[in-house]
Structure 1
């Protein structure tokens, strides 16, 4: 195949490396002759090396039974791979030589060395890989999830796949009757659903998140127990920032999260006011970039891994996980963040995941293309969701409880909403009921004007609920001092607590050092809190990342006072 038949560069997904970049990579790579039909990487395997095509062409295909779906054909100067090459995640695509020639094979460890010394190459590779991940998601490549939209198990798997940006396609058995009949014919029972099909061969019956993660190629969790310098609980912006700075400064760092990297920020389709991104950036992409950066610095991730308790053992802390494992370290950063409150109105529970959503990412946007939707909330997340959904939905109604849009929303965002012709803002308005049609599909929202008491139905195929913030601190109850709303108390707030009855300054262990507790330190010495989970924090992504980095500085100070050198 001639270069004229190569896949075009889709917005930077398939760039060519220039002579200077090729020379740098050639210094640590090996030239490998290729033959037609030779498989450089198989689906389900981790990339053994970073490949650059020197001569000939290499096709990237998705096997599906006896057929292959071609996703790209790379010619001279183009490089293969995806984000999994950097994160250790197995891929779902196969790289096959089409026209004979040669490739440059660079070991992944050596590639990281080149990127460290020449950041420009890293920028090109990372940008291409992020775009490729997005293209695969748009094409619904990768694994297949089959289930009912009304099934909690199906909703859980879809959310997990979307939050971890695992390329997948959703097959709703309520709509695809032939798929349901096929499952019946093959002997599948309701207990086997949802069903996940991987690479046209392996089938998972009602898998848990951890099983899907491993089958989908996500890196396996830590298999060993050790006492490190730092455990970060929660991989939102604060946790990711702490991981990046801690690992890059030589602290042995482990990050655990119950669902995925990104936290609540990953539910945002566009963060428009984040420092350094004048055109904005999606929460998912920001999280992916930060996670890659943290792994590159040496941080280890364990996902999914839900923390259920914090215990003290001798001179270190033990985070016990839901699956029975534990992670130990001399210090802890609590960055479990918050989650949106559920919509407590008649009919809401029956539509969760099937009309009622708590995130507005591309996965949810595809479910309501050219349909009317309602967004509930008056904060930045709700405003960003409304603007994003207006590009896909027939119309968007933003229901705000307050009488002033600027009360809890950034001015730039409020101004943009007022200018957007696809968004209609309804102030002093609250949802009172959700209404379905005869087939059980969401049809409308009953909204009330709180000034007049007037109620009316608003047509809606989907409702996006982005209200309030509930801290994820139940696992800390009784161990770390919390305020009346459940947020973690730190610094001066801890210093004002009575000496008795607080969980960490355990009896007989008062704050005996000047300057303690540190600004982000909890009532437990050596346990810090950062981001939205902390009482009094500014609920912004930039503020959370700043607190995550600041926590690392304080951890160094703490380790000095306790005599623990970095592990």
Structure 2
């Protein structure tokens, strides 16, 4: 037997990513699928394929291959009997980032997704097993395959924009840094692309020169073709915890539900490395995993996600709401849930724009952590987001300085975060301190100018990266005069929104059929749990509104 004919070693189970199914579980799946023989070399799933079945290997082995059919083809995984194939993209409707081929003759069980959804509703333990495995596989896939290539300079705002989109949406991708990667120049030469024309995105046979977010989203399978004039029961604008809760409850109760977000699912919570005080997760859960679980849950009930896509205006036609989207498409709907949340405010310091996207960030995830290895970094802010970022960055940076303008961390930060910060040897808390200047050149931050708010004494502190978490600004610019806002731009709800209707529900805006939930709502409690609660409550109010038009089931639907 030559080397090419030797059997491949089956991939070992890693962190529960590759469990084996029991006889009972396979029997349950068999009742909703069909067994079929496969021949050596048969392609079961092709790279880029979106519509596919849930596959279980009954006999033989299946290889997971990146770049199948190309000179750079590489085996990533090998699955043997009782293993199921694929990863999170199967449940979220994304195309496969790899190919799966039979390494030897055998048999597979193919279960259509509707049948799988029915089964996991009846057998939640099996559903939890599959979901945990798929979530773990997505994390492994991000680190194990090249995925989408983004070629560009770390100092280019457009490179940063594309990398942020890929990272926030948990897309397997590789960044090729023009300044640091020795192979970047040769790659561009082969593609006949000049450095000044970067960034470029490469996947399979496609090369996109400085694509828009929408173009990147389409080739990655995040964003389907827009459906103009679709009629919905509810459009949820914003896919943070509040919007995701509204999607889950709305879709599960039979409402035609469409969810939009300008960046990614998860909102601000999606950028948190670990949420430790959310009910039911004593060991904590990352914001990204919480969002992924909610998306799978909502899609299971039929919610349609279109991310990233931006709502630019809210209009109306007769008794219907009309959500105008970037690119000119429109969605007609009986009701709208505004869940656009808030973004962190920018520091009021000179030269900020020069360093944003290269040295100044408003989220602390693994993408930003790349720039912090063995560096001195600073975090500005005294709330939980700043505390979570400090703890996460301390694992990567040589030193982290947490800068607050007052002298008491207990004022705005949870005690469990303070306890952890106080135990970290490479973290220093600078109290009564304000950032006044950014010092550096060519987009590279070198130091911060800071001032003691009590004494007025100024000094410079070394810092290669700065993270700002200094309060929020509501994302309500797209609403214009559509609904009433408070003096800070948050959406007014309840009696404050409609003085003429004191019985108005606490989530109802000044416009009938439009509700606001989560951080975007004036007076809301800025916690994940309260946002989820408001999102679920909104669906009850939606039913009340829809009752005036007949039940959702009786009205004609176009489907999504």
Fold shared by both chains (TM-score > 0.5): yes
User: How many Å apart are 1:59 and its aligned residue?
Assistant: 1.1
Asked if 1:349 corresponds to 2:336, the answer is no
Asked if 1:43 corresponds to 2:27, the answer is no
Deviates more, 1:350-359 or 1:56-65: 56-65
- Residues 335 and 221 of structure 1, relative CA distance in 2, 3 Å threshold: farther
Question: Aligned with 1:5: secondary structure?
Answer: coil
1:17-58 CA deviation, whole Å, 9 max, x = no partner? Answer: 111111101112222222222211111112521111111111
User: How many Å apart are 1:294 and its aligned residue?
Assistant: 0.8
Equivalence for 2:298: 294
Q: Please point out which of 80, 86, 109 is paired with 1:81.
A: 86
- The separation in 1 between residues aligned to 2:518 and 2:225, in whole angstroms, is 25
Q: Please point out which of 508, 524, 541 is paired with 1:537.
A: 524
- Residues 338 and 100 of structure 1, relative CA distance in 2, 3 Å threshold: same
Q: Please point out which of 504, 529, 550 is paired with 1:517.
A: 504
1:199-239 CA deviation, whole Å, 9 max, x = no partner? Answer: 3x321111111111111122514424222211111111111
Equivalence for 2:140: 135
The answer as to whether partners of 1:91 and 1:217 remain within 8 angstroms in 2 is no
The answer as to whether partners of 1:233 and 1:336 remain within 8 angstroms in 2 is yes
Equivalence for 2:467: 464
Asked if 1:431 corresponds to 2:435, the answer is yes
The answer as to whether partners of 1:267 and 1:283 remain within 8 angstroms in 2 is yes
Asked if 1:280 corresponds to 2:287, the answer is no
- The separation in 1 between residues aligned to 2:160 and 2:443, in whole angstroms, is 16
The answer as to whether partners of 1:47 and 1:81 remain within 8 angstroms in 2 is no
The answer as to whether partners of 1:319 and 1:327 remain within 8 angstroms in 2 is yes
The answer as to whether partners of 2:362 and 2:469 remain within 8 angstroms in 1 is yes
Asked if 1:264 corresponds to 2:268, the answer is yes
Asked if 1:10 corresponds to 2:19, the answer is no
Equivalence for 2:558: none
Task: Return 5+ residue gaps in structure 2 as ranges.
Answer: 556-560
Question: Aligned with 1:99: secondary structure?
Answer: coil
- The separation in 1 between residues aligned to 2:551 and 2:117, in whole angstroms, is 30
Task: Return 5+ residue gaps in structure 1 as ranges.
Answer: 497-509
- The separation in 2 between residues aligned to 1:329 and 1:402, in whole angstroms, is 47
- The separation in 1 between residues aligned to 2:57 and 2:79, in whole angstroms, is 7
Question: Aligned with 1:238: secondary structure?
Answer: helix
Equivalence for 1:25: 29
- Residues 253 and 352 of structure 1, relative CA distance in 2, 3 Å threshold: same
The answer as to whether partners of 1:240 and 1:291 remain within 8 angstroms in 2 is yes
Equivalence for 1:115: 120
Deviates more, 1:460-469 or 1:376-385: 460-469
Equivalence for 1:322: 326
Equivalence for 1:98: 103
- The separation in 2 between residues aligned to 1:141 and 1:539, in whole angstroms, is 37
Asked if 1:447 corresponds to 2:434, the answer is no
User: How many Å apart are 1:189 and its aligned residue?
Assistant: 4.1
Question: Aligned with 1:159: secondary structure?
Answer: helix
1:71-102 CA deviation, whole Å, 9 max, x = no partner? Answer: 21111111100111111110110112223222
Instruction: Give the TM-score taking structure 1 as reference length.
Output: 0.93
Question: Aligned with 1:556: secondary structure?
Answer: helix
User: How many Å apart are 1:169 and its aligned residue?
Assistant: 0.8
The answer as to whether partners of 1:150 and 1:350 remain within 8 angstroms in 2 is no
- The separation in 2 between residues aligned to 1:364 and 1:101, in whole angstroms, is 44
Deviates more, 1:239-248 or 1:550-559: 550-559
- The separation in 2 between residues aligned to 1:339 and 1:74, in whole angstroms, is 43
> After superposition, where does 1:80-229 map in structure 2 within 5 Å?
80-139=85-144, 141-176=146-181, 178-180=183-185, 182-184=187-189, 186-189=191-194, 192-199=197-204, 201-229=205-233
Equivalence for 1:507: none
Question: Aligned with 1:71: secondary structure?
Answer: strand
User: How many Å apart are 1:455 and its aligned residue?
Assistant: 2.6
User: How many Å apart are 1:565 and its aligned residue?
Assistant: 3.9
- Residues 440 and 554 of structure 1, relative CA distance in 2, 3 Å threshold: closer
Deviates more, 1:285-294 or 1:358-367: 358-367
Question: Aligned with 1:244: secondary structure?
Answer: helix
Deviates more, 1:272-281 or 1:137-146: 137-146
1:499-549 CA deviation, whole Å, 9 max, x = no partner? Answer: xxxxxxxxxxx54xxx63211000111110000000000011111110000
- Residues 278 and 462 of structure 1, relative CA distance in 2, 3 Å threshold: same
Question: Aligned with 1:150: secondary structure?
Answer: coil
Name segments (4+ residues, structure 1) moved above 3 Å.
1-4, 184-187, 189-192, 561-567
- The separation in 2 between residues aligned to 1:30 and 1:14, in whole angstroms, is 22
User: How many Å apart are 1:341 and its aligned residue?
Assistant: 1.2
- The separation in 2 between residues aligned to 1:564 and 1:104, in whole angstroms, is 40
1:241-282 CA deviation, whole Å, 9 max, x = no partner? Answer: 001001101111111111111111111111111111111111
- The separation in 2 between residues aligned to 1:445 and 1:276, in whole angstroms, is 40
- The separation in 2 between residues aligned to 1:20 and 1:185, in whole angstroms, is 53
Q: Please point out which of 380, 386, 400 is paired with 1:382.
A: 386
Q: What RMSD, in angstroms, separates the aligned Cα atoms of the two structures? A: 2.0
Equivalence for 1:481: 484
Instruction: Give the TM-score taking structure 2 as reference length.
Output: 0.94
